[in-house]
Amino acid sequence: MRRILAAFAIILAGLFAAQPACAASRIKDIVEFEGVRDNVLVGYGLVVGLNGTGDNLRNSPMTKQSQETMLERLGMNVRDANLNTKNVAAVMVTAKLPAFAAAGSPIDVTVSSMGDAKSLQGGTLLVTPLFASTGDAYAVAQGSVQTGSVSASGASGSSVSKGVPTAGRIAGGALIEKETGFQLASMGVMRMTLRNPDFTTAQRIAQAVNARFPGCAVAENPTIISIRPPPGMDMVSFVTQVETLEVQTDTPAKVIIDEVAGVIVMGDDVRISTVAIAQGNLTIQVQENPGVSQPAPFSQGQTTLVPQSNLNVDEEKGRRLITLKDGASLASLVKGLNALGVSPRDMISILQAIKAAGALQADIEVM
């Protein structure tokens, strides 16, 4: 564990040494542009051609009704028939409609079972319209379902499965039938949304845009920056030049702790006030060595077990107080904790104790 912590410290030091003191990011990498986003689609359909691994029609009335309705549309009446096939499964089909996707373009879809189907492997999704939240159909899906899983079962009831056989994908399985109609070029004002809201970063973005195009950007709040193209330039050309501008981002000091996995992530802005840290391990070992007691000859006694306990208390020596001076950086903190030889889980307790003492100038977020 000590070697892992030491290697972690070396990697951090290498990263800090390799990166410039003021690393800049492109605007396109830290914001979302208004209207330029994916749109979620959903639909209900049937998967046919399953090898006896579909829904049990007695337990899934929706599958039976859907099958009857589909066959009626094809000119067959099976309302009074005793359908008992297990080759059909009711599924939900989901997809994402990319921004500015043109009609006729293919998109991937995900197919997930709704009933008690055992597997969708080898099945074929029938024509399924995909709807947006507005109720409009934007795409139509159909094709062979690929689950990428393996499942097998024996007559005794034992089964082995790898992956999730009740969900799969169809690559390019849907065709876009309707475009969103979003007109970017005709927009007069666009809002950019920071992925990590921050007052300083928002102001720096506005300053960077105004330095290139004076008076064209305003930081409305820590999240939104409004931009307006200069006279004679459309929005598409303007955004193309704005998104490549570089800005130095600023984020609040934060420590992320995952107590379950024992993972700690600290930002470079984390600072420590003057504090002394000591950490030691106390090990108590109890060892049982039972003995046998034999009675004297002709004493009519009985052989018995006599417990013998050895108790050892080991307190690790050589640990000293580690003092961190006021304003110590992340590198100093990691170096000091590594000098103590603490494990990641002990480090979590130490960081929380430093925060409780008021010496950790950062927010702690426990996952």
- The string of pLDDT tens digits covering residues 142-170 is 999 998 877 666 666 666 777 788 999 99
Would 107 be classed as within a structural domain? Answer: yes
Same structural domain, 219 and 278: no
Give dist(CA 224, CA 198) in Å, integer.
10
pLDDT in the model for residue 21: 46
pLDDT in the model for residue 195: 92
Copy the structure tokens of residue 106.
């293919």
pLDDT in the model for residue 153: 66
Supply the angle between the helices 235-242 and 199-212 in degrees, to the nearest 10.
120
Same structural domain, 126 and 193: no
Copy the structure tokens of residue 200.
């300083």
Would 217 be classed as within a structural domain? Answer: yes
Give dist(CA 249, CA 27) in Å, integer.
10
Ranges of the chain whose pLDDT falls below 50:
1-21, 282, 284, 318
Give dist(CA 169, CA 148) in Å, integer.
9
pTM equals 0.67
pLDDT in the model for residue 14: 45
Supply the angle between the helices 330-340 and 2-18 in degrees, to the nearest 10.
160
pLDDT in the model for residue 176: 95
Would 298 be classed as within a structural domain? Answer: no
The amino acid occupying position 58 is R
Same structural domain, 208 and 82: no
Give dist(CA 54, CA 366) in Å, integer.
43
Distances (CA, A) of 46 to 68, 115, 224, 277, 336: 12, 11, 43, 63, 61
Kindly state the helix (H) or strand (E) to which residue 323 belongs, with its residue range.
strand 322-324
Would 207 be classed as within a structural domain? Answer: yes
Copy the structure tokens of residue 192.
């950019």
Cα 359–364–367 angle (5° rounding)? 155
How does 116-133 read in b/e, with b if 16+ C-beta sit within 10 Å?
A: bbbbbbebebbebbbbbe
Same structural domain, 43 and 31: no
pLDDT in the model for residue 289: 67
Cα 282–285–289 angle (5° rounding)? 170
Same structural domain, 263 and 232: no
Please answer whether residues 245 and 25 qualify as being in contact, where contact means their C-beta atoms are separated by less than 8 angstroms: no
Same structural domain, 275 and 203: no
Question: Which residues span the domain enclosing 274?
Answer: 2-14+253-282+317-366
Copy the structure tokens of residue 18.
């390799």
Same structural domain, 30 and 50: no
What's the structural domain count of the chain? 3
pLDDT in the model for residue 184: 85
For 300-358, what is each residue's pLDDT tens digit?
Answer: 667 776 666 565 555 555 455 556 566 666 667 667 667 666 777 777 777 788 788 78
φ and ψ of 287, to 5 deg: -120, 125
Selection from 142, 116, 363 nearest residue 257 by Cα: 363
Same structural domain, 63 and 164: yes
pLDDT in the model for residue 270: 79
Q: What share of the chain is helix, strand, coil (3-state, %, to 5)?
A: 20, 35, 45
pLDDT in the model for residue 13: 46
pLDDT in the model for residue 288: 56
